[in-house]
Structures are given as C-alpha cells and as structure tokens.
Amino acid sequence: MNSSATDNPTIGDLGEFGLIDRVRAQVGQNRHILLGPGDDAAHVSTNDGTFVVSSDLLLEGRHFRRDWSSPHDIGRKAAACNLSDISAMGGVATALTVGFGAPADLPVAWALEMVRGFEDECAHVGAHIVGGDVTESDKIIIAVTAMGDAARPVRRSGALPGDYVAYSGELGLAGAGFATLSRGFRSPKAAVEAHRVPRPPYAAGPQAAGVGATSMTDVSDGLLADLGHIADASGVAIDLDSHTFVVPEPVATVGEALGRNAMDFVLTGGDDYALVATFSSETTVPAGWTRIGQVADGSGVTVDGAAYEGASGHQHFR
C-alpha cells in the first residue's frame, strides 16, 4: 500500500473486514446492545426479551445471475444465506424484512415468484417475510434482514486451545457449481443446484449451542476464510486434518474436468452455508457433525500443520 493509500485508503485497500473494523470503531453502544458488529448476527434486548438480527445484501451479477437461476431459486438463496446467519448464532429465525430494488420493466410475475422462493425457504424454520421496501434500480438488489431467537448466542470469539473443530452441512458443492456454470456447463446437477440454492443445516446451529459449542460461524466465503475469523476473534490457532474430509463425488468430477484440486473447492469454496464450530474436548461430536481439526495456542489456520497455498476463500473488494 502506498503512502497516499495509507493516508486516505479506499475500501479496496482495506477490504471487507478492514472496513468493518473501521465501522465498529465509530458505532455507539447502549444497554440494549448485548452483542454488536463482528459476528454472524447481533444480539439485542427489548423490554420483554432478546433477539438476534443480521443483514445481507445480494446483487445481480455478483451473487446471482438471472440466466443461471430462476426467480424462485434466487428467492430461496437470498432467504437461506440470511436464515443461516441466525442458525450460526445458535438461533432459529422467525421473521425477515426484504428491501427490493429492480428495473421498472421487470415482470411482476418475476418478483412474485422470487417471493414464493423466500417463503418456501423460510418454511424450513417457520419464518415469514414481515415487511421491507421497494425501489427502482438498474439491476436487481435484494437486501434482507433476518431476526430470530437464540437461547444462548454462540460467538466467534469463544474457541479455546484444546477444543476440536467440526462442521455440519455441505462443503465444496456450491463452489464447484459456480465454476461449472462459469465455464458454460450445467452438470453435474448436484453442484449446479447447490450454487443456485444452498442447503444450510438450520437445525445444527441450535443443536451445537445446546451441547456447548464454544464458537461457531457459517461458511459463506470459504471454510479456511471463515475459520480464520474464529481464529482471529478467539486469539487461537486452528489446524485442519485433510484426511478427515470426504470430497463429494460431484466436486471430484468438476475438479477432474477443470484440472483443479477438488480439495480447493472443499476448503475455499463459499456459498454452501455449512456450519463450522468448536467444541470442548469433553463434548461428544454431535450427530450430523464431522470432526475435522484442532484448536491450539497461536494464530491463523493451517492444513496438516502448514499454510494452505493460494487464497483461503472469497474476499470482497479484492
């Protein structure tokens, strides 16, 4: 970074999480904010209870393409990535608000089919759309806020040396699907469908919280990148054992077809919205979770004791 960038950095200079750090330094605090920015969701109190809340933004051309996905698929994906944030805190989503920007010539039927996708995905947890806003935009913009209940919100900052790491859900399929679609192909179907509509393990979040998970997050930018947030927030090192992973057959097929290491998709592909968490060594691995690594003193995330070559996952603004 040159001196001018240091004096007056752009968002691209800082990156997504550098910008978030600057924002966190400027926002205020009051007695109702039990947990502010920095986790998958915030934890807020009211006069008659508490709730968790999270927001996400999906942009046409960056998070979805209309020639790749139906409006129903896009609605389901927009709901899923927000519902997953609530699950990643150990909670269950109850309601969504949706901000929707669209060109004036977009058919009404397209928008209604997207809403049907939202409602169909929300049915997995019993949530519904309760409000939002609509405005004109050159491209489709979907801004979602999810709210829910969490008896014991699980943060990213609780991992301790001696804990083990485990995940629940799918890893690598959505990334392989994106790579497939980017090359103009439509198969293997399982990978392509995983990119169009992720399948978060919603029940696994409250399950992990219930057995005492020490930290947790969902995998949106890539397993290594998102575990990096846990390692940084907790002040620990995390090492993964590559031999514990089973590469899904469609991911292996895409890797072979494109001349890529299939483990790249598993370790660095995003948009699957699996959950990854740490648990005390005294805690039995919950049903539906797979143990993949260990927490130790130190910093950063390694694979088989060494730094992983290449990018750890998706980085906004880079």
Q: Which residues are annotated as a binding site for Mg(2+)?
A: 40, 54-56, 85, 133, 218, 221
79: how many CB neighbours lie within 10 A of its CB?
32
Who contacts 275 (Cβ-Cβ below 8 Å, separation ≥6)? 84, 87, 88, 167, 168, 169, 200, 201, 204, 205, 208, 216, 217, 218, 219
Instruction: Label residue 24 exposed, middle or buried (CB < 10 Å: 0-12, 13-18, 19+).
Output: exposed
Express the helix, strand and coil content of the chain in percent, nearest 5 each.
Answer: 35, 25, 40
Q: State which H helix or E strand residue 97 sits in.
A: strand 92-102
Residue type, position 175, single letter: G
From CA 72, how far away is CA 110, in angstroms rounded? 8
CB 254 within 8 A of CB 129: no
From CA 293, how far away is CA 277, in angstroms rounded? 10
- The candidate with the shortest Cα–Cα distance to 169, out of 53, 279, 55, 88, is 88
- The candidate with the shortest Cα–Cα distance to 300, out of 123, 159, 195, is 159
Residues at the annotated binding site for ATP? 132-133, 156, 220
From CA 46, how far away is CA 258, in angstroms rounded? 52
Residues at the annotated binding site for substrate? 63, 271
Residues at the annotated binding site? 40, 54-56, 63, 85, 132-133, 156, 218, 220-221, 271
